[in-house]
Amino acid sequence: GNSVTQMEGPVTLSEEAFLTINCTYTATGYPSLFWYVQYPGEGLQLLLKATKADDKGSNKGFEATYRKETTSFHLEKGSVQVSDSAVYFCALSGSARQLTFGSGTQLTVLP
């Protein structure tokens, strides 16, 4: 079946530092890949997506590239802000139309 493995947290960075959160997946066929962000006490918000190999999703300074050869979809941001502190979830959607999530990575950005 489908599965998503993402970098365990928590991750603590200083403001303006570079962020990478690793995500790898196992899936049959050609899944779509997503990053969701969850702020404290809130639901998940779609951050970015990529639907085919070599696509780059980007939003709010975050980027991730769909790498089929390494089955990866790592999240990056060049300069994080305090307001980026949240839990980040990598997810995939295959033919079953359900999302399969990683376990989440807690990010804390210090001023």
Partner 1 sequence: NAGVMQNPRHLVRRRGQEARLRCSPMKGHSHVYWYRQLPEEGLKFMVYLQKENIIDESGMPKERFSAEFPKEGPSILRIQQVVRGDSAAYFCASSPGDRYYEQYFGPGTRLTVT
Residue among 21, 35, 48, 49 that touches partner 1 (CB under 8 A)? 49
Which one, 3 or 79, has the nearer CB to partner 1? 3
96 makes contact with partner 1 (CB under 8 A): yes
Q: Is 44 in the site for partner 1 (CB under 8 A)?
A: yes
User: Would you say 19 or 50 has its CB closer to partner 1?
Assistant: 50
Please name the residue that has the structure tokens 């196992």: 26
Stretch (H or E) spanning 63: strand 62-65
Q: Which of these ranges, 21-29, 45-53, 59-67, 74-82, lies near partner 1 under the rule CB under 8 A?
A: 45-53
Would you say 22 and 74 are in contact if contact means Cβ atoms under 8 Å apart?
Answer: yes
Q: Between 42 and 111, name the residue whose CB sits nearer to partner 1.
A: 42
Q: How far is the C-alpha of 34 from the C-alpha of 47, rounded, in Å?
A: 8
Distance of CA 91 to the CA centre of its chain: 7
Measured from the CB atom, the residue of 96 and 110 that comes closer to partner 1 is 96
CA distance 111 to 94: 39
d(CA 9, CA 66): 22
* Contacts to partner 1 by CB under 8 A: 32, 36, 42-46, 49, 51, 89, 93, 96-104
